[in-house]
Structure formats: structure tokens, C-alpha cells
Amino acid sequence: MTAAIATLPDADRFALRNATLAAIAVDGFAAPAREGLVKADLVISAGRIETILPQGSAPADLPAADLRDGMVWPCFADMHTHLDKGHIWDRRPNPNGDFPGALDAVRADRETNWSAGDVRARMEFSLKSAYAHGTSLIRTHLDSLPPQHRISFEVFSQLREEWADRIALQAVALFPTDMIFDTAAFADIVETVRQHGGLLGGVTQMGPDLDARLDMLFRTADDNGIDIDLHVDETQDRAVLTLKTIAEAKLRNRFEGAVTVGHCCSLARQDEDIASATIDLVARAGISVVSLPMCNMYLQDRAPGRTPRYRGVTLFHELAAAGVPTAIASDNTRDPFYAYGDLDPVEVFREAVRILHLDHPLDTAARVVTRTPADILGRADLSRISAGGRADLVIFSARRWSEFLSRPQVDRIVMRNGKRIDRSLPDYRELDPIMKA
Ligand SMILES: [Zn+2]
């Protein structure tokens, strides 16, 4: 029997005493740090963080919860997901878990099952899980091969409205970039993205016309004031390196919007000189990089009966050292690209620490699921602890990194607008009716 983490006072104004904060996720407060962790008291008032005070200095007359050095994080940002694909595993598994198998399985499922009702049911399921885990900001890619783009973006817009108080949502149109020269189809995708306030994305493939495709993409995005978020080099094939071409295209087109790239797996397969020249170019172009460690370790270097030889992730530390904004995210959940996952940033962070060696020291590691992805998504108001900001917090029993990273933290408390939320996860049985499809 474990003790409850804390009982939050049922009051409009109260204190959280003896909290441990990851300094990198806190604005406007300084205290002696150990492994990037600082001690503080927080005063919560009318759903907001009123002040962050040195430990032991919250007013004595306030109702309070004593966290006994438990960690308090801001709510999480999950900046690369696929809510439209999520949770189809039971009706459309990937027989061998590899990348071509995933493409085939998703195509077949999309073509037969992805009605508005089906997409909505699965996206809602994912949002309920993410909310219960403590996430307040999500960007999803949406498969946008016609006619799916209209169906999925319409559902997305409805959910963005319905969930506005709980999770801020962004969507990216995902399509093969060779579609850019199919004038009518591309124009319709751009129009859909414009209507729904989304982003242009796509999967970049090598080819003699890659420069021309990227020029068209950047020009169109620029003309329409749209940001870009691409799937890039999700392969272990070292001959593939479109990342360099993308950075060159952004510079050549003087594109002023935000550009994010995900995956960039093959960068880790390059010789040092090629890798570092590419990283310099990405830094100079002002491109942000998101790594998807769980999904990439699952998909990359997979062959039946053969043990994988590398981890599948990009050169995360080298990119960060060059000044590139870097973050991690969930990517797929229970679909042919990744058989597992639940949109839990604590799991993603824990796995990322192990896969990417974000530890020793862990001083600033917490930024990868909080401050940095929120900044990349243009939401510098979210996923940090700051006086005046919303009291959207996640409270843990764990006091130190070793405690935090050794357990799944299922007993965490999620506070939204200063109130504890019901953290019940949706029951998988809710999906049974659509899994029979
Ligand atoms: Zn993805």
C-alpha cells in the first residue's frame, strides 16, 4: 500500500509546499540546483500560478499540500503524433513490424475504414489518454491523400474546438512530396490546410526533382503564410540524406516561416564530416528537429530473425550542441508503425533518456517534452512553470531523477487550472465496435 502523493486543498488560493522543480521548465525563479532540480513553494490562485517562492516561504496561513519534495512539472507538449492512425492495431496489425509492412497496412486500413466517425472515435480515445497523462499541447500529422484530407481535417477541426480548454491542437497535412506536381490535388490540400489553420508536411524522398519539389513547397507555404513540418530520412539507408537538401531549400527560398523536421534517422549513418556539415547547415537554416525514439527503435534496423544493430535515432546531441532546437515526441500509437504506446510523455521521456543517453547529467533533459517543443510549436505560453501562467501541472511522488525514471509514475496527479483532474484512462473496450470493421 503506497501513500497518496498529496491531498490538494479544495480552495481557490492555496500553496504547494516543498516541491522539486526541473529548473529548465521554470521561468523567473532561481535557487541552488542539483542535477537541474530546485526546491520551491508554489502559490496557486484562481487557477493560475501566483508566485514561485523559495522552499519554506509560502505564507503560513494558506491552505497547503505538502509535496515532501515530490517533483512538479508543467503539462507536457507532444509535438509529433499521428492521432488519425492511432489504435488500429487490433484490426490491422503489421505482420513483421517493418516499415514497408506499416505503409501497406495503413493504406489498406485507410482505404476501407477511415470514415469521419472512425477517425473521430480513435482520435478522441487518444486525446482522453493524453489528457489523463498530463499533456496540454499536441501536434498531429494527418494522412492527406485525397479524399482523406477533407474527412480528417474536418474531424480534426471539430475536436480542436471541443478540446480547446484541455489540449491545444495543431495539424499537419502528410502526403508524399511527389504529389506537389499534381497541381489540382496539391492545390486542394493547400486549400484544406488554409481553411483549417494547419501546416504543410509531407514525406521527402530522394529523386532528381527533389529541389524543384521543395522550392514549390516553400513558395506555396510562403504565399499562404503556412508553416512546414516534414517527415525526413526515416531510413537506415545512408545514401538517403534529404535533410541537407531541405536546409538548402529553406535558405535558397528565404523562407521565413517555421520549419520542423522529424526522424532524420539516416543522419546517424553518415561519416562524421558529412554529418557535421549537414548539422551546421540545419542550424544555419533555423530548422527544428524532433526525434521519435520509441517508434524509430521499433521500425529501424528490423529484419526477421536478426538482432538490430543500431538504435534508429538521429544525432540528437550533436544537433542540440549546434544550436538546433531539438525535442522528442510520441509518434505513432498502437498502429502498424508502432504496436505500442499511449501518448504518455513520461514514458516517451523515460525511454528517450535510455535510448538517446539524455542522462549523466540530466540537468536540462526535461526541456525535451516541455519548453522546447512548446517553443517550436509557437506556444511559448505553455509547458513551463511561470508566475501568472495557468496552473497546469503534473505532480509526482518521485523526488529525484533516479526515482522518477525507475517507475512509470502511474500515481501522478494532473492539475489543470488549479484543480485535480480525473485521470481515468479510456477503456480499450470502447474501441471494440470499430475494431470489428
Ligand atoms: Zn511521424
Determine the distance separating the centroid of ligand 1 and the alpha carbon of 99, expressed in angstroms. Answer: 12
In this predicted structure, what is the pLDDT of residue 50? 98
Among 154, 172, 150, 202, which Cα is nearest to 81's?
172
The whole-angstrom distance between residue 37's C-alpha and the CA centroid of its chain comes to 23
Q: Which of 354, 350, 289, 306 is nearest to 97 (CA)?
A: 306
How many A from CA of 80 to the centre of ligand 1?
6
pLDDT confidence band for 265 (50 / 70 / 90): very high
Predicted pLDDT of residue 5? 86
In 82-146, DSSP assigns E strands to 135-143
Length of the chain equals 437
Peptide bond into 325 cis (omega under 30): no
Ligand 1 (single-atom ion) residues, CB below 5 Å = 331
Residue 6's pLDDT band, with cuts at 50, 70 and 90, is confident
Whether the pLDDT of residue 407 is over 70: the answer is: yes
145-183 pLDDT per residue, tens: 999 999 999 999 999 999 999 999 999 999 999 899 999
pLDDT tens-digit map of 74-102: 999 999 999 999 999 999 999 999 999 99
Under DSSP, is residue 64 helix (H, G, I), strand (E, B) or coil? strand
- Taking the chain, what is the end-to-end CA distance rounded to the nearest angstrom? 42
Q: What are phi and psi of 243, to 5 degrees?
A: -55, -45
Question: What CA–CA distance (Å, rounded) separates 150 from 138?
Answer: 20
> Taking the CB of residue 379, how many other CB atoms lie within 10 A of it?
18
pLDDT-derived band of residue 3, with 50, 70 and 90 as boundaries? Answer: low
Q: What is the largest CA-CA distance in the chain?
A: 71
Confidence band for 1, pLDDT divided at 50, 70 and 90: very low
How far apart (Å, rounded) are the C-alpha atoms in residues 110 and 143? 9
CA distance 95 to 116: 26
Query: What's the pLDDT score for residue 205?
Result: 87
Domains of the chain, each with CATH number or no CATH: 3-74+383-420 (2.30.40.10), 76-376 (3.20.20.140)
* 297 in Cβ contact with 312 (< 8 Å): yes
Q: How far is the CA of 100 from the centre of ligand 1 (A)?
A: 14
Please tell me the distance from the alpha carbon of residue 201 to that of residue 220, in angstroms, as a whole number: 12
In the predicted model, what is the mean pLDDT of residues 189-207? Answer: 96
DSSP state of 10: S
Closest residue by Cα to residue 395 from 375, 378, 377, 416? 416
Q: 383 alpha carbon to ligand 1 midpoint, in Å? A: 21
What is the Å distance from ligand 1's center to 140 Cα?
8
Distance 102 CA to ligand 1 centre (A): 12
Give me the amino acid identity at 117. Answer: G
Residue 25 is given by DSSP the state G
What cell does 69 get? 519534495
Residue in the block written with cell 496540454: 136
Which are the contacts of 44, defined by CB distance < 8 A and separation ≥ 6?
13, 14, 15, 16, 50, 391, 418
Q: How far is the CA of 229 from the centre of ligand 1 (A)?
A: 10
Please provide the average confidence, as pLDDT, over all residues in the chain: 97
Asked if 415 and 421 count as a contact pair (C-beta separation under 8 A), the reply is yes
Q: What percent of the chain has pLDDT over 70?
A: 99
- Whole-Å CA distances, 379 to 370, 373, 383, 395: 11, 9, 8, 22
C-alpha 359 to ligand 1 mean position (Å): 25
- Per-residue b or e along 132-169, where b marks 16 or more CB atoms closer than 10 Å to that residue's CB: bbbbbbbbbbbbbbbebbbbbbbbbbebbeebeebbbb
Looking only at the bridges linking them, the beta strands covering 203-204 and 259-263 are unpaired
CA distances from 415 to 16, 56, 71, 133 (A): 12, 22, 13, 11
Answer yes or no: is pLDDT of 268 > 90: yes
Between the CA of 392 and the centroid of ligand 1 the distance, in Å, is: 27
Using the mean position of ligand 1's atoms as its centre, give its distance from the Cα of residue 296 in Å.
Answer: 10
Q: How far apart are CA 188 and CA 218, in angstroms?
A: 16
**Amino acid 436: pLDDT:** 79
Rounded CA gap, 359 and 323, in Å?
A: 19
Q: Which of 162, 234, 347, 351 is labelled catalytic?
A: 234
Query: 35 an active-site residue?
Result: no
